[in-house]
């Protein structure tokens, strides 16, 4: 199964939707809470090439984008192969 990383903030509806989609597929993910900023926020900005909204999602190191981007991949049937499902 693919390595999934997701940068989130507390009380973020888009973050909750993205995590629910992954959980519904039985996919484990590493979550980085950047609510208080810090080094993980800087890491997210660098990895996403300036993407400052949350969530920012990475699958096997590939930047997927946010919640809507991941949902679109799912609707197109392109998410499961990325996840190794």
- pTM of this structure: 0.95
Cβ atoms within 10 A of the Cβ of 31, count? Answer: 14
Tens-digit pLDDT profile for residues 51-63: 999 999 999 999 9
Domains in the chain (CATH in brackets) are 4-83 (3.40.30.10)
Q: Mean pLDDT over residues 56-72, rounded?
A: 98
Written as one string, the DSSP assignment of the chain is ---EEEEE-TT-HHHHHHHHHHHHTT---EEEE-TT-SHHHHHHHHHTTS--SS-EEEETTEEEESHHHHHHHHHTT-HHHHHT-
* Residue 26 near residue 49 (C-beta atoms within 8 A): no
């Amino acid at each position: 199964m693919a390595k999934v990383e997701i940068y989130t903030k507390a009380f973020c509806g888009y973050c909750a939707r993205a995590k629910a989609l992954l959980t519904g597929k039985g996919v484990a993910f590493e979550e980085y809470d950047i609510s208080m900023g810090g080094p993980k926020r800087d890491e997210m900005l660098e990895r996403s090439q300036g993407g400052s909204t949350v969530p920012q999602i990475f699958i096997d190191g590939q930047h997927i984008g946010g919640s809507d981007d991941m949902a679109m991949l799912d609707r197109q049937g392109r998410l499961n192969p990325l996840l190794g499902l």
